[in-house]
Amino acid sequence: MDYKLNLHFHIVAGQQEFQDLLNSTDVKAMYQKCVELSESTPLDTEGKLRGYCVVCEKVVEFSYGWLYSHMEKINFREHLLCPGCNLNNRQRGIANVVFKLLV
Ligand SMILES: [Zn+2]
């Protein structure tokens, strides 16, 4: 499996474009994956998810759990941590944008 994805960033110009993005197949599939992982991860436990870290530039086992969540769904934005750089999903996303702007 190729874990190195070309992340897509969207510039949203208004409420309708934001709604359209939320209703897109890609975003719905991502949301469904988050729901499935949340449902299969008991409270107060952690899981692992293999993926590519753009900061470390290698495939890693990200860890996730219920920290920073409201106990309904895991907060993958704030708690999908890379074991190498220890950055969460949001921080790695920002780094990815900066890297793309510098290249
Ligand atoms: Zn990393």
Report pLDDT digits (tens) over 10-64.
889 999 999 999 999 988 998 999 999 999 999 989 999 999 999 999 999 999 9
Q: Is residue 71 a part of any domain in this protein?
A: yes
Total domains in the fold of the chain: 1
Beta strands in the chain (DSSP E): 47-53, 58-64, 80-81
Q: What is the predicted pLDDT for the residue at 87?
A: 97
Phi, psi of 61 (to 5 degrees): -100, 100
The confidence score (pLDDT) of residue 99 equals 87
Give residue 59 CA to ligand 1 midpoint distance, Å: 9
- This prediction has a pTM of 0.80
Distance 36 CA to ligand 1 centre (A): 24
pLDDT at 2 over 60: no
Q: Per-residue confidence at 9, pLDDT binned at 50, 70, 90? A: confident
| Residue 6 falls inside a structural domain | no
* Domain residue limits at 34: 15-102
What pLDDT was estimated at residue 44?
A: 86
In a domain, 96, yes or no: yes
Tally of CB atoms within 10 A around 26: 9
Structural domain includes residue 91: yes
Distance from residue 53's CA to the centre of ligand 1 (Å): 5
User: Residue 69 has what DSSP assignment?
Assistant: S
- 7 contact partners, CB below 8 Å, separation of at least 6: 54, 93, 96
Task: Tell whether 62 is covered by a domain.
Answer: yes
